[in-house]
Amino acid sequence: MPSPTEPVSQLRHVRIVECGEPLVDFLQECPALLLDKPRFPYRRETLARRSLAAKLCQAAANLPAGFKLAVLECWRPQHIQKRMHLGVRRRLRARYPDWSDTKLVRMANTLSAPLNPRVPPPHSTGGAVDLWLCDPDGNHLDASSPYEILDPRGYRFDAEGLTSEARRHRQIVWNALTPAGLTNYPSEYWHWSYGDQGWAYRGGHPNAIYGPITPDGYVPDPADVSDAPLQFIER
Q: What pLDDT score does 235 carry?
A: 40
CATH of domain 8-224: 3.30.1380.10
| Alpha-carbon span 232 to 112, nearest angstrom | 9
Half-sphere exposure of 149 (CA within 13 A, CB side): 9
Share of the chain above pLDDT 70, in %: 96
| Beta carbons within 8 Å of 235's beta carbon, 6+ residues apart | 111, 112, 113, 121, 122, 123, 128, 130, 185, 187, 188, 191
Q: What pLDDT score does 1 carry?
A: 44
- For the full predicted model, state whether its pTM sits above 0.95: no
Residue 177 has pLDDT above 70, yes or no: yes
The strand ranges marked E within the chain are 23-25, 34-35, 47-49, 68-73, 128-134, 183-184, 191-193
Tens digit of each residue's pLDDT (9 = 90 or more) over 97-142: 999 999 988 888 877 788 888 999 999 999 999 999 999 999 999 9
What are the extents of the domains in the chain? 8-224
